[in-house]
Amino acid sequence: FKDERDIGGSDGLDNPTGFFEFGLMLTGYLGSCEDDDEDGVCNDDDRCPETPAGCIVDEETGCELDRDGDGVCDGLDACPDTPAGCEVDAAGCTLDSDNDGVCDGIDRCDDTPEGCEVDEHGCPLDADGDGVWDCRDDCPDTPEDCNVDDKGCPLDGDGDGICDGLDECPGTPQGLEVDDVGCPVSYKIQKELVLVGVTFPVNQATLTPESKEQLDKVVESLKALPHVKLEIAGHTDNSGSREYNIELSQRRAESVRDYFIEQGIDPDRLIAKGYGPDNPKYDNSTAEGRSKNRRVELIRLN
């Protein structure tokens, strides 16, 4: 007598492998989906269905991850920590056209010459602010406001040691000692200068020999400072009529002007004006005050 279970084969209880193989087939069939870009996210869920091979994607959306935001996906980005704003190559690494260490995109001076030290913006340093980069500046400590040549060195047209741009007397003759603004020490003309020692005979406008000696010093100054223009102002005390004193002071001022012109000073630089008694500087009630009020002044006009 045979058990019917032995006839016609097994019911599968003695062959568990069959169930396992069937289960794999069923599971594989039920779990499969189309994934055209092979990024691990099914087409139905993939918002970026054309992801390049090798890119790391978001598990839910299937879109490329790009942690440094440079446009090259993680997985393909050879430089995954590129600073924001930098332009990159196909591998995701920063471009630096002028090789100054500041990437294109951030570099405001993208044609910096080789060897120039640059700031954080990629522009050449200019420590003395003279317009010539440090890397080309032969005189890197030029004082502010000095005019410089193409090598960054101060220009000094009159050779007095005070650079053009700071020199208030740029035409100083060679060899004269100058002050710290480039003007001859012994020839400097102030804004207003009383010509001490320039006197006239009573009621006359004729220059005395002593007056001419004093004026010769002024002539030297005017020749040393060819840009200076002057008003020659004549003044009197209050003795006599105002009308007469104005006329007298005008003649005296013109005498000084004429003398300057005779010594070679350009007439266009000189104006003569008589003020008479109108602008006293001293007390006309005393002899000393009246004497001091009879004066000739030089007034710089520029």
Walk across the sheet containing 192-194 and list its strands. Answer: 192-194, 296-300, 230-234, 270-274
Q: Which of 109, 102, 67 is nearest to 87 (CA)?
A: 102
pLDDT interval class at 20 (50, 70, 90): very low
User: How many other CB atoms sit within 10 Å of the CB of residue 172?
Assistant: 24
Rounded Cα–Cα distance for residues 204 and 52 (Å): 106
Q: What is the pLDDT of residue 45?
A: 86
Supply the pLDDT for residue 186: 59
Q: pLDDT tens digits for 244-289?
A: 999 999 999 999 999 999 999 999 999 999 999 999 999 999 999 9
Distance CA 70, CA 48 (A): 18
Residue 5 has pLDDT above 80, yes or no: no
Average pLDDT, the chain: 85
Tokens of 160: 């007095």
Distance (Å, whole) CA 280 – CA 275: 10
> Is 175's pLDDT higher than 90?
no
Binning pLDDT at 50, 70 and 90, where does residue 174 land? low
Read off the pTM: 0.45
- pLDDT confidence band for 172 (50 / 70 / 90): confident
The helix/strand/coil state of 21 is helix
| Per-residue model confidence (pLDDT) at position 26 | 42
Q: What domains appear along the chain, each with residue ranges and CATH number?
A: 1-65 (no CATH), 189-300 (3.30.1330.60)
Strand (E) positions, the chain? 192-194, 230-234, 270-274, 296-300
Give tens-digit pLDDT for 50-72.
Answer: 899 989 998 889 898 999 999 99
